[in-house]
A and B are shown apart, each in its own frame.
Chain A
Amino acid sequence: MSEALRPQPRTSNDTLPHWQGLRDHRLRLQRCAGCGTFRHYPRPLCPQCHCFDVEWIDAAGDAQVHSWTVLHHAFHPAFRSLVPCVMVTATLREGVRLLAPFKGDVRHLVPGLALRVGFEDISAELTLPVLVPA
């Protein structure tokens, strides 16, 4: 029941390919068609070369721990059944970051720990990335 209340992402034409990719269990990142720089979260313009054109690239799926927190207080009714929950800020091989729930033992977390990206189907419409120990 709490899952039904979970806030849904409000997508735009700038971000839709990312969300569609997640449904197919692919973490799709924007790479600038002009200068080749990866960027995330998705947005219309490359801040390096100001090119609007992008390629959507599947992330390799490996990452490293940058930092983390353990959420104890939910702040929203949809997440009450999910706390406590470990949220990891991870650096992907492509250089951009991913914030996602960590499915592992929080006591093992140290900066630099190797992780893999996985996927969790929340509903027919929504799939979210997760992080697991490599």
Chain B
Amino acid sequence: MSLSGRAALTGVGETAYSKSSDKSVLRLSLEASLTAIGDAGLRPQEIDGLIPYPGMGVVAEDLIVNLGLDEVKFSAMTPLGGASPVAAVQCASAAVSSGLCRHVLIPVARNLAAGGRISDRLRQMPQFNTVAEFELPMGAFAPAQLYAPMARLHMERYGTRPEHFAEIAISTRRNASLRGDGMMTAPLTLEEYLASRMIADPFRLHDCSLESSGAAAVVVSRKECARDLPHPVISVLGVAEGHPDSPTSITQRKDLLEIGLVKAAPRAFGMAGLTTADIHVAEIYDCFTYVVLRQLEALGFCRPGEGGDFVASGAIRLEGRLPINTHGGLLSQAHMVGMNHIVELVRQLRGSAGPTQVAGATVGLVTGYGDLGDGTLAILARE
């Protein structure tokens, strides 16, 4: 039995995004949750499945007690770092299509003052235990530091240049400028990119995503239940999760450039019965510019090693053949662990993405990238 077309994204919600917030992580979760539930045309009591985001201290019980849910039949967590929200969509799709429940709420919230800083991640995520024991004492533990050798190897092997990474930062910022509601909206030039300080060579400041406070949430519903709701039905056509070899240590990975998405992509496209040529818009997890470039290769939009040329061609710009991160992504809108990417894809497919709406977009994809290379992918379409 295929999951394809059996679940739908029926509601989306976001708070404002900012550097700091005086609201608790739970409060932020609840605000985005109520927006998403309302957007779906549901009453909170109709939510009967929950997938909270792991590591920030919000559990299903907190959502039950605050939202007044008395019919929760399913709860789970998908602890894959930045691949978690799309993995949660997969988990929720399986739950609703199996009949376990009808409407699954998936909130993500962070507050930088309450465990949301990148340097807190090591403690929050057990998949970092190996890094914490063997690499943290050396001074290398932050994602920028762990991914930099991957980017360097890509440059050495394929001739990828800083200008290629810059194009991802600049085109993403352009989208954020047009939208105007993200954390970074001032236009970014190549000169500013190249002059920004080095964090972990070859990553400059503008290669790195933001750190943000706020929340985003979605509701995944059984397809039959989605048809009576207010918005056009946005179906989950394909969804998959993949893990690279050596998923606890990038250092020990046979090929440093391998990522889980290489395994997930063929499964999700196969489930959807689609190819890359069918995709109108893509929201690509952009914790770092290089990670976008490598995922474009893994998805099959270009061959391995050709990511630099692909982005340099203008393909990923709003007017290009594959507009990406139309909301400004983690690089310029906010780092909401990629839940903001799922929210944006739903808006694009509803036709409600405002100044960065891709004309006629009815099929799109969204990826997640977990800290040490876990990959997730969902292909959504408007019915």
Contact = CB atoms under 8 A, between A and B. Distances in A.
Interface of A: 6-11, 15, 40-41, 66-76, 78-79, 82-83, 85, 87, 89, 96-101, 110-111, 122, 126, 128
A8 B132 CA distance: 9
A40 B149 CA distance: 18
Contacts, number: 102
Contacts of A122: 137
B118 interface: yes
Interface string B81-95: 000000000000000
B99 interface: no
Given A9-B136, A71-B200, A87-B149, 19 more contacts: A41-B130, A67-B149, A67-B150, A67-B256, A68-B149, A70-B200, A71-B145, A72-B200, A75-B144, A75-B145, A78-B139, A79-B139, A82-B139, A99-B134, A99-B135, A99-B138, A101-B139, A110-B156, A111-B156
B16 interface: no
B153 A41 contact: no
Interface residues of B, number: 34
A68 B152 contact: yes
18 contacts: A6-B137, A8-B137, A15-B133, A41-B248, A66-B153, A67-B149, A69-B149, A69-B200, A69-B202, A72-B197, A72-B200, A76-B141, A87-B145, A89-B149, A101-B138, A101-B139, A111-B153, A128-B138
Given A70-B200, A75-B118, A97-B251, A41 B140 contact: no
B148 interface: yes
A19 to B, nearest CB: 9
Contacts of A110: 156
Contacts of A7: 132, 136-137
Contact of A69 (B118, B201, B252): B201
A119 B145 CA distance: 22
A117 to B, nearest CB: 13
B72 to A, nearest CB: 36
A10 B156 CA distance: 35
B198 interface: yes
Nearest to B140: A87
Given A11-B133, A99-B140, A69 B251 contact: no
B142 interface: yes
A123 to B, nearest CB: 11
B249 interface: yes
A103 B236 CA distance: 51
Contacts of B135: 99
B119 interface: yes
Given A67-B153, A71-B200, A9 B134 contact: yes
Contacts of A6: 137
Contacts of A85: 139
A6 B137 CA distance: 7
A18 to B, nearest CB: 9
A101 B150 CA distance: 17
A81 to B, nearest CB: 11
A93 to B, nearest CB: 15
Contacts of A74: 139
B163 to A, nearest CB: 19
A13 to B, nearest CB: 13
A97 B252 contact: yes
Given A10-B133, A66-B256, A100 B138 contact: yes
Nearest to B133: A9
Contact of A72 (B140, B149, B201, B252): B201
A100 B135 CA distance: 8
A73 B199 contact: yes
Contacts of B138: 87, 99-101, 128
Nearest to B119: A75
Contacts of B139: 71, 74, 76, 78-79, 82-83, 85, 87, 101
9 tightest Cβ-Cβ pairs between the two chains A and B: A69-B148, A67-B149, A70-B201, A67-B153, A79-B139, A75-B142, A72-B198, A99-B251, A73-B199
